[in-house]
Amino acid sequence: MIRRTLAEAAKFLPETITAPRTDPIYNCHSYLTKVPIAAIQPFIETFTKPGDTIADFFAGSGMTGLAALTLGRNARLSDISALGQHIAQGYLAQAPSIAVSQAVDQVVRDARAKMGDLYTTTRCTDGSKQELIRTVWSFTYVCPSCSEQLVFFEHVSRGRAPRACSACDSPFARRSWGRAEDVPVETVVIGEDGRQLTQRASELDKSHIRRAAEDPRLHLIPSLVIDKNREMYSRSGLGKSGMTETRKFFSPRNAIALLELWRAINDVDDGNVRQKLRFAFTAILPRASKRYQWSAQRPLNAQNQTYYIAPVYYEWNVFDLFKRKAKAVMKATEVLFPPGLAEALSETDIDYQIASADKLRHLKSESIDYVFTDPPFGSNIFYSDMNLFHEAWIGTITDASAEAVVHTTGPRKKDAEKRYEQLLRTSFGEALRVLKPGRCMSVVFGNSNGKIWGLVQRAIRDAGFNSTPMHVAILDKGQRSIKGLNSGSESVVTVDLVITVRKPEKGESKQGAHDLRAGDTAELISEAITELEAVHTTNPSQIYARILQKAINKGFVLDNLHLSDVLVALRSSGFSVDPKTGRLSRQWKDDRLRMATI
């Protein structure tokens, strides 16, 4: 009965779910590869009813739990991520805005007082004392031929990258030139007209910076080592830059401001208010660090998948960042717990455990009505390595020994793919165990490598789910970084799929369990490209996702269906990818010319 109802309900789910990453909840606290709750809600509404219990065992920042909460469902969340648990609990803490706002004022007042005058500067137009809004810092490079120093900002602020050493004309190369101390180049304060005023970094600024660098409180900054066995150590070139500890990512001045703020927050009496402030605090860490990238037009966000520091970066006033973030946190809390509904929602039971997805011992068999989950995508992102940056402050660390990622370097490279496959297979086995018979699991997945897709398909099938999916949706979270799009690298897939499968009823044969078959994927690619002119598509990822969707619905195994093949086929059909926007375009003129020549 349920089986038919769910299958029928699935027919009303759209084939493409569009949920841009712009809502106040999504943007409140970053976490790698969050799924916006608007993308999860249609699935929960389709496959459950109010009061049901949903599980997500790769829960990350807990978006499935928040989506469940908004719809009056319970949730059992788990992940190995200490940071994920901290974020989810921060979202879920219920504290009145007025209490949060008063506490924010108090902690900022206390921390400012302890900070002293380290953020103070002189406004160049009238000599008045001002608190800095931000300072711009630049890498300094050293010419390998003559040791002349080159301040990177002096060139890029004039709109062009440095070409050569000003003293000996040796060609400039970022990778091979050594580095000297970073230098402050500009400061920004409020001008006499109330607008932001940019001025050169002064001697007073430099003396405050020197004083901060000798401050004994620097020894108290919470920090974790990012050791060379971590994948992100080599991927982010940390050995070369010496950034092997999380505290090094903060200027001494910002490290002291953060420390004083963190201490004041941890002294707040009310547990829920404290939790909200701790949440707002960890939310500002990337921007409070050297990872906040300068750009001539407007600040570029920190790259949250890597430890990259741009050659020109910001040292942003921590107190301003925190006050602004606290406002966003209060807004998100009001969206999540609308006035009038807050009491009813607090009845909903959302629990978050630290557990590996392959060992869900805290969940009873056949106790869950629906699973919505989003496992790591192969070797794309190393969550536990990136979590260290925040976890140094929250004081608990992710145990990465069971992390479901495919290592590409270091001691865990050996058999990495096998381990990943085994972990997914056992995790889906656990999902099958905890689900009630006949109920569904939706898995979000995105990768540009067909081999990884095939591995996921087999893991779902071998766990015992019906491998013919009940529904396959394209999840479009909007355009992300398009860097490297032409190379077809894994990280550029901007579209994921949501594959929904069903646990067989008791006594029902595992119908369709072994019918994954090799299909003509080349034909699917050429079909998709032929259809392209009639369909509104924006980038190669979307075409790839549509091809995958078709192939899965036909029961094809995806091992040989790679994004790179789609890119090659697109190019040979006359399409090109705009390197700036990542969008596809076709050379119509050339095409007509070619047709005419033929």
Ligand X SMILES: C[S@@+](CC[C@H](N)C(=O)[O-])C[C@H]1O[C@@H](n2cnc3c(N)ncnc32)[C@H](O)[C@@H]1O
Interface residues with ligand X (CB under 6 A) are: 31, 33-35, 57-58, 60-61, 63, 79-81, 84, 356-357, 374-376, 383, 402-404, 423
CA–CA gap between residue 192 and residue 195 (Å, rounded)? 7
- Which CB, 67 or 111, lies closer to ligand X? 67
Enclosing H/E stretch for 438: strand 435-445
Q: Which is nearer to ligand X, 201 or 404 (CB)?
A: 404
Helical residues (DSSP H) of 48-140, grouped into ranges: 63-70, 82-92, 97-115
Decide whether 286 or 376 has the Cβ nearer to ligand X. Answer: 376
What's the min distance (Å) between Cβ of 143 and ligand X? Answer: 43
Q: Copy the structure tokens of residue 132.
A: 């800095």
Residue nearest to ligand X (CB): 60
CA distance 438 to 184: 62
Backbone torsion region of residue 507, taken as left when φ is above 0, otherwise alpha when ψ lies between -120 and 50, otherwise beta: left
Is the CB of 133 or the CB of 386 nearer to ligand X?
Answer: 386
Least distance in angstroms from the C-beta of 383 to ligand X: 4
Residue 404 Cβ vs ligand X, minimum distance, rounded to whole Å? 4
Nearest distance from residue 362's CB to ligand X, in Å?
Answer: 12
In the complex with ligand X, the residue whose CB is nearer, 190 or 354, is: 354
Measure the CA–CA gap between 101 and 117, rounded to whole angstroms. Answer: 25
Compute the least distance from the CB of residue 380 to ligand X, in Å.
9
The CA distances from residue 66 to 32, 343, 344, in Å, are 16, 15, 14
Q: How far is the CB of 131 from ligand X (least distance, A)?
A: 35
Contacts by 528-531, CB closer than 8 A, 24 or more apart: 528/566, 529/569, 529/570, 529/573, 529/575
Q: How far is the CB of 111 from ligand X (least distance, A)?
A: 29
* Cα–Cα distance, 549 to 561 (Å, whole number): 11
Burial grade of 215 (CB within 10 A; 0-12, 13-18, 19 or more) = middle
Burial class (CB in 10 A: 0-12, 13-18, 19+), 384: buried
**Closer residue to ligand X in complex, CB, 25/577:** 25
